[in-house]
């Protein structure tokens, strides 16, 4: 590799999520159809998007982590 070239790097990704609590202090968790574990709702931040906007967008879609599949909610 020439001295003036940089080695290839991974594409940086940012994810954002939201923590929801009800009156009894219970936490909202989702289980995406493509994962075996539960997590807080959220997803990947698109270029030029803020983390809060990404969280709102992903939650409004009922999807998580940018995969576009519905998640089970508990």
pLDDT at residue 66, rounded to an integer: 44
pLDDT at residue 64, rounded to an integer: 47
pLDDT at residue 43, rounded to an integer: 87
**Is the Cβ–Cβ distance between 36 and 66 less than 8 Å?**
no
Between 1 and 58, the higher pLDDT residue: 58
Does residue 63 have a pLDDT over 70? Answer: no
Return mean pLDDT, the chain. Answer: 79
pLDDT at residue 47, rounded to an integer: 92
Q: Is the overall model pTM greater than 0.85, yes or no? A: no
**Is the Cβ–Cβ distance between 71 and 49 less than 8 Å?**
no
């Amino acid at each position: 590799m020439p001295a003036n070239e940089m080695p290839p790097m991974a594409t940086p990704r940012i994810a954002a999520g939201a923590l929801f609590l009800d009156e009894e202090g219970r936490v909202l968790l989702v289980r995406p159809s493509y994962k075996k574990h539960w997590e807080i709702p959220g997803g990947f931040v698109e270029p030029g998007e803020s983390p809060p906007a990404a969280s709102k967008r992903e939650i409004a879609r009922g999807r998580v982590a940018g995969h576009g599949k519905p998640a089970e909610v508990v």
